[in-house]
A and B are shown apart, each in its own frame.
Chain A
Amino acid sequence: MIPPPDGGACVAMVGKDCVAIACDLRLGMQALTVSNNFPKIFSYGDVHLGLTGLATDVSTVSDLFRYKVNMYRLREERNISPQTMANLVSSSLYERRFGPYFVSPVIAGINQTSGKPFICGFDSIGCIDFAKDFIVSGTASDQLFGTCEGLWEPDLVSCACSGDMG
């Protein structure tokens, strides 16, 4: 599997009855910054999707899921759950197995039926990484890994969870 050309940083975390997801806002080419207003987290009802990687695919993939989730909501008259969204992302990315989108998605959300927080990450062809604690992705994933491994503990409350990434 060719690793995606990383760009940006994204982290999702589970706390006590909560999840947090954060990303940077930079759009750049190597050292040159083109924009400081390029969000990489997209919300689809109860589910939040973080996308790092090639900027054009970040936009393409986020638009694609906006379409798919809106169609799901119209068909089923309900919001998509984080778990269902995870499987949708996985199957949609694997559809492009031999010409993938260069993105590493992250999902964070709370399942409204069970009330339980849920996070997961993917590689660019849709292999799901279910994690109980945190998910990192992007060029800063090594640093985020270190920070999260050092600071994460079970049952963080919402302010501590988001403060972690400040």
Chain B
Amino acid sequence: MSSEWPDTLAAAPGQYAACGRGEEHGLGVHWEVLLGITGKDFTIIAASKAAMRGATVLKASDDKTRALNSHSLMAFSGEAGDTVQFAEFIQANIQLYSMRNSMELSPSATANFVRGELASALRSRRPYTVNLLLGGYDEIADKPTLYWIDYLASLAPVPYAAHGYAQYYCLSLLDKHHHPDIDFAQGMKILRMCSEELKRRLPIDFKGLMVKIITKDGIREEEYADDQNVAVP
């Protein structure tokens, strides 16, 4: 009977602390950086540009995000193949909703839809191993939004978030410096602190960050210089 469970759950249920998740088995998965920060009127989504397979960097300008509609953006990391497949499946369905109904799904509805798909996949024959950040701007509440979703389909609305090892470096920085009403310049400043810390402490080169911003005007890519060296004490 237990063979019907998804591998991730059957392996050793004890290791999943709850309200949370366990270790992934895919190598290199943890090294991918996903970062999200909300502020007064914006959400920043940053993702590392390295596409890795084992010990090899295949690409240094990888885009780990997909726009779902004009006001929500999904960043993803996880097992190669699953990620883009799942993201584009979600993207297609959210766009289909927009076309059919001539209106866009709100960020919270989008997040719960994504969670539902991931959760039903989790207990299927082959689950998706994908971690997600869903940045958006809720035009009705006039507020930026950010949702943290992991491959077990745990969903949490958060003011700032990260996935992979980046969590251990960035969440403490964000705990200290983040406020709900920071302006865009302050948000970018905190992001800079995070990326410098990652460059300083992560043992691999993640090839810099691709940064996208969601505001009431939509999604845009932000120039993000990451060629200067960071001093390591």
Contacts and interface: CB of A to CB of B under 8 A. Distances in A.
- Output the residue of A30, A35, A58 with the most chain B CB within 10 A: A35
Interface string A40-67: 1000000000001111101110010000
A52 B154 contact: no
A99 B148 contact: no
Interface in B1-58: 1-2, 4-5, 9, 13-22
Interface residues of A, number: 32
A34 interface: yes
Interface in B117-173: 119, 122-123, 148, 152-158, 161, 167-168, 171
Contact of B18 (A55, A60, A98): A55
A165 interface: no
B85 to A, nearest CB: 20
Given A7-B18, A28-B17, A55 B152 contact: yes
A27 B154 contact: yes
Contacts of A55: 18-21, 152, 154-156
A61 to B, nearest CB: 11
B156 A34 contact: yes
B167 to A, nearest CB: 6
B199 interface: no
A32 B19 CA distance: 11
Interface string B53-88: 000000000000000000000000000000000000
Main secondary structure of the interface of B (DSSP, over half): mixed
B122 A34 contact: no
A6 B156 CA distance: 18
Given A38-B156, A55-B152, A29 B13 contact: no
A5 B148 CA distance: 21
B1 A27 contact: no
A5 B123 contact: no
A109 interface: no
B115 interface: yes
A68 interface: no
B13 A27 contact: no
Given A37-B158, A56-B153, A29 B1 contact: no
Contacts of A99: 1, 4-5, 123
B20 A29 contact: yes
Given A34-B148, A55-B152, A99-B1, A5 B158 contact: no
A27 B19 contact: yes
B115 A6 contact: no
A27 B158 CA distance: 11
Interface of A: 2-8, 26-30, 32-35, 37-38, 40, 52-56, 58-60, 63, 98-99, 102, 139
Given A5-B18, A37-B157, A99-B4, 11 more contacts: A2-B13, A5-B16, A5-B17, A7-B19, A29-B17, A34-B148, A34-B156, A38-B156, A54-B16, A55-B154, A56-B122
Interface of B: 1-2, 4-5, 9, 13-22, 115-116, 119, 122-123, 148, 152-158, 161, 167-168, 171
Q: Which 9 A-B pairs have the closest CB atoms?
A: A7-B18, A29-B20, A55-B154, A55-B19, A7-B19, A35-B156, A56-B153, A98-B1, A5-B16
